[in-house]
Amino acid sequence: MKILVTGGAGFIASHVVDMCLSQGYEVAVVDNLSTGRRSNLNPAAKLYEVDLRSPELMAVFEKERPDFVDHHAAQVDVRRSVADPLFDADVNVRGTINLLECARRAEVKKFIYISTGGAVYGEPEYLPCDEKHPINPICPYGASKHTAEHYLYMYRVNFGLNYTVLRYSNVYGPRQNPHGEAGVVAIFAGQMVAGQPVRINGDGEQLRDYVYVGDCARANVLALAAETTGAIYNVATGRGTSVNEIFRLLKDVTGYPQDAAHGPAKVGETRHIYLDVRKAQADLGWQPQVSLEEGLRRVVEHMQTAE
């Protein structure tokens, strides 16, 4: 069985590629390498350097004839989405529609779509947020990712495309870019390992649900094999952790001697959020296995041994 993974040279999807290969899938990757890295990509996977929005995408489907699509490629930076909402929508909505058209024409058996549990719900009306929580995103990124979920539903109703949505919380782990705008764990760890100052936006009491990347990869493999269709699952830990606590834990792991500075809070960021994962546990047999302390240790070890 063959799976096409979009964004497969990126942080999260490269781990999905590794796990799919370990489970015996053939893997083809579509990635324009705007944020992905060739060094992340498993050499057993075939890479097509094609933009998600390109008309050339259909040629990849015609050549590879994938049984499954796992769609991770996206504009994922909340702050960039606020600064440039047209670009965000172009990649996340138009790019996904182009991919759906290719999947429909190629008669793909199942489509796994990666959405965001950290941004689609907005400021929670209750915690933890389950999949039935109202959708009220407060940033363009959350709005664009959720818009694509509506297109998935339409493609199932109109064309019979089988799909599953995975709404990730805040994913962290090895290969996350410490120099990017997204990923407080990678940014803080990178700064600490380099002995640089660390700045926390706002008071640091923002709560996020930090889930380890390997646990996310396992959720994708389970979703591929599941018989459910049109299902939506949170992929998270069910626990909120403050940014200040992340700083303290990483400080302990790295032996970082400095205190953090505090800057202004960022526009479009949710104050407190963590997700209910009981549906994924019940339907997919999935639950997080890597503790936050162990995951942070792996991140730091990866940074200390990376080139």
Residues noted as catalytic: 141
Long-range residue pairs from 28-32, CB within 8 A, at least 24 positions apart, any chain: 28/2, 28/3, 28/4, 28/60, 28/64, 28/66, 29/4, 29/5, 30/4, 30/5, 30/6, 30/57, 30/60, 30/73, 31/6, 31/7, 31/73, 32/73
Task: Give 274's strand partners.
Answer: none
The answer to whether 109 and 300 have CB atoms below 8 angstroms apart is no
- Report the sign of the C-alpha dihedral through residues 56, 58, 63, 69, in that order: positive
- Provide the residue type at 153 as one letter: Y
Collect all residues with Cβ–Cβ distance below 8 Å to 102 and sequence separation of at least 6.
57, 58, 60, 61
CA angle 102, 34, 16 (to 5 degrees): 65
Task: Give 46's strand partners.
Answer: 28
